[in-house]
Amino acid sequence: MPGRIARTFNALGGALMQRSGRVGILGTTGAKTGLRRTAPVGYVERTDGSLLIGSGSRDNRGWAVNLRANPVATFKTRGVERAYRARFVGPEERQRALADLKISMGSFAERADWGDLFVLEPVR
């Protein structure tokens, strides 16, 4: 059942995010398996080239566990995949990050139950 709930959230939330152009495919390495994993994730692009991402569904947070175990990631949007290094957003930075999400995503961000937040910094 949790998988079905996650798929439903991704279908509804993901469709909304795709229409707004703020969804990409996050590539991580499985924390337990070491296998490549992908997940659709909404994001906010920042002026410094980094991306702010957040786990919005309790059933869609496996990628957050993967990023904590191995911060090396890829993110694909508009057909282009780039390499990133993830940085966990700690308590001191969280309120500002949530404000960025709310400004960019509007009422969806207001209603979302934000779990872990990460900044994806481009690997140069």
* Mean pLDDT on 57-82: 88
pLDDT over 60 (residue 118): yes
Q: Which domains does the chain have, with CATH numbers?
A: 2-122 (2.30.110.10)
Measured between alpha carbons, how far is 79 from 48 in angstroms, rounded to an integer? Answer: 21
Quote the percentage of the chain above a pLDDT of 90: 39
pLDDT over 90 (residue 31): yes
Task: Enumerate the β-bridge partners of residue 118.
Answer: 53, 88
Measured between alpha carbons, how far is 29 from 51 in angstroms, rounded to an integer? Answer: 18
* Mean pLDDT on 63-74: 95
* Mean pLDDT on 106-113: 63
Residue from 40, 39, 93, 37 nearest 70 by CA: 37
Do the strands 51-54 and 72-77 form a parallel or antiparallel pair, or are they unpaired? unpaired
pLDDT over 50 (residue 7): no
Measured between alpha carbons, how far is 72 from 44 in angstroms, rounded to an integer? Answer: 19
Contact 43, 24 (CB under 8 A): yes
